[in-house]
């Protein structure tokens, strides 16, 4: 009985201890008109709550989304800069969009983001594992009907991203769970010094990426479980100094480093201690476009595979859209390491490097690769126009002898 009384007392006391610090005021969305019944629109209330937190002169204000509530939101843009050098958003409740796509209120002509935080330094977004939903299927069908004909080859430009942090520094994102996304769940866009950890992205039936990093530097992503149809993590133009570790990646496109045609280089990426479960790809580099730049100093190491279709791949002939005018890339790929990659592949393709004669992949290192096919066929490697070094014991056997006119 005494233990029950003590637990009850602590349950009452701890919230007041946590939220009573005058230097850390808490701005609860319920106090600004949000209704957590999953039907009433709480977008305005979230905007008002953010405005109060962002303009607070306290050292570390918090915007609070309480548990045991479901909040319906239309597209939400939370802008900075804020007065405080550190600001926190705690999401313990459930956030959903309108179920009917035609009820969606767009911020701009095309709604490509659902929740976006922009120009906010010192931001921490965390939660207690509650769910953030993407768009329901009916919303995607409406998007299909409304997409301009000129954008038909580029469906991901118009499809709505769930959660974006843009043009910000010193960022932390943790604890949240994303479900049913029809495009990228989390997008870091032009971010410096960020950490994403302990988030879960649940499987969707659409070709959606889990975490997408563009034009960002000094980013750490660790201890995440991601099950997507698209890439679990995709790193594209202008990103450098990234560390990705302790990731469980299931069913999707693996972890990709991709130069997709803009002016930014990609370099200094370390991917380690990753498990790929039944993915289409594993450790992947893909380039396209005529911009003469480079992808270099990329390390994939300590990776475990279970039935991945293409565990190791470099593709300079990648085409990511429905129509490509040119399936060749002028992006230099160099200093790529694949080390201690073990497990099984689905079919016979374990290693596939396809590079150009005029711009071969150079500085490729394979060390201690052990990949077996899950079928009766032996796992095989296929390399074209690639140069490098092979160390340790490697299964399948890997060579750099093939030269073809790509």
Q: Provide φ and ψ at 342, rounded to 5°.
A: -130, 155
| pLDDT reported for residue 159 | 55
Reported as a single tens digit per residue, the pLDDT across 228-244 is 888 999 999 899 999 99
Instruction: Flag whether pLDDT at 5 surpasses 90.
Output: no
Mean pLDDT, residues 173-194 taken together: 92
Question: Token pair for residue 94?
Answer: 């459930």
pLDDT band (50, 70, 90) for residue 148: very low
Among the listed ranges 22-36, 80-94, 148-162, which one has the minimum average pLDDT value?
148-162
Lowest mean pLDDT of 20-24, 84-88, 98-102, name the range. 98-102
Half-sphere exposure of 245 (CA within 13 A, CB side): 11
The more confidently predicted of residues 100 and 188 is 188
Q: Residue 374 pLDDT > 60, yes or no? A: yes
Q: How far is CA 191 from CA 164, 167, 209, 241, 357, in A?
A: 10, 5, 18, 12, 35
Amino acid 404: pLDDT? 56
pLDDT for 225 equals: 96
User: How far, in Å, CA of 196 to CA of 67, rounded?
Assistant: 22
- Section 196-202 average pLDDT: 94
The yes-or-no verdict on residue 267 having pLDDT over 90 is yes
Which two tokens mark 181? Answer: 């996304």
The pLDDT of residue 354 is above 70: yes
pLDDT at position 262 is 63
| CA separation for the pair 316, 328 (Å, rounded) | 6
223, pLDDT greater than 80: yes
Q: What is the mean pLDDT of residues 145-165?
A: 54
DSSP H or E stretch at residue 16: helix 2-19
180 pLDDT above the threshold of 90: no
Alpha carbon distances (Å) from 404 to 330, 363, 384: 16, 18, 6
pLDDT by residue (tens digit) across 93-128?
999 888 755 455 555 544 578 899 999 999 999 997
Higher pLDDT, 49 or 184: 49
Please report the pLDDT score of residue 317 as a whole number.
Answer: 81
Distance between CA 303 and CA 317 in Å, rounded?
Answer: 25
Which residues of 210-293 form beta strands (DSSP E)? Answer: 211-214, 217-227, 233-235, 240-250, 255-259, 266-277, 281-287
pLDDT at 292: 58
289-348 confidence digits (pLDDT tens): 666 588 999 999 999 999 999 999 999 888 765 455 555 667 889 999 999 999 999 989
Asked if 353 contacts 390 with a C-beta cutoff of 8 angstroms, the reply is no
The reported pLDDT for the residue numbered 42 is: 96
């Amino acid at each position: 009985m005494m233990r029950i009384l003590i637990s009850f007392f602590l349950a009452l006391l701890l919230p007041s201890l946590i939220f009573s610090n005058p230097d850390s005021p808490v701005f609860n969305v319920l106090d600004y008109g949000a209704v957590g019944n999953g039907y009433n629109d709480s977008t305005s209330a979230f905007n008002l709550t953010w405005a109060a937190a962002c303009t607070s002169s306290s050292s570390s204000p918090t915007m609070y989304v309480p548990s045991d509530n479901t909040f319906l939101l239309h597209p939400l843009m939370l802008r900075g800069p804020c007065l405080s050098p550190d600001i926190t958003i705690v999401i313990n409740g459930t956030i959903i969009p309108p179920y009917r796509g035609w009820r969606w209120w767009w911020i701009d002509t095309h709604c490509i983001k659902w929740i976006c935080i922009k120009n906010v330094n010192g931001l921490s977004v965390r939660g207690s594992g509650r769910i953030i939903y993407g768009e329901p299927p009916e919303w995607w069908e409406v998007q299909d009907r409304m997409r301009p004909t000129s954008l038909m080859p580029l469906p991901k430009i118009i499809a709505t991203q769930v959660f974006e942090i843009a043009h910000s520094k010193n960022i932390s994102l943790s604890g949240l769970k994303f479900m049913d996304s029809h495009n990228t769940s989390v997008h870091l866009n032009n971010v410096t010094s960020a950490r994403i950890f302990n988030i879960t992205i649940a499987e969707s039936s659409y070709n959606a990426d889990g975490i997408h990093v563009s034009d960002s530097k000094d980013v750490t992503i660790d201890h995440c479980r991601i099950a997507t149809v698209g890439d679990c993590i995709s790193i594209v133009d202008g990103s450098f100094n990234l560390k990705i570790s302790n990731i469980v990646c299931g069913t999707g496109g693996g972890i990709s480093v991709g130069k997709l045609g803009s002016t930014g280089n990609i370099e200094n990426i370390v991917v380690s201690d990753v498990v790929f479960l039944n993915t289409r790809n594993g450790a992947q580099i893909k380039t396209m476009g005529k911009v003469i730049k480079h992808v270099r100093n990329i390390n994939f190491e300590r990776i475990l595979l279970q039935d991945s279709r293409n565990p190791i791949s470099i593709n300079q002939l990648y085409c990511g859209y429905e129509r490509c005018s040119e399936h060749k890339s002028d992006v230099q790929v160099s200093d790529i390491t694949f080390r201690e990659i073990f497990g099984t592949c689905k079919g016979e393709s374990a290693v596939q490097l396809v590079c150009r004669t005029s711009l071969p992949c150079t500085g490729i290192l394979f060390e201690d690769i052990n990949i077996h096919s899950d079928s009766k066929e032996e796992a095989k490697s296929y390399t074209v126009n690639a140069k490098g070094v092979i160390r340790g014991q490697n299964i399948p056997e890997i060579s750099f002898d093939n030269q073809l006119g790509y």
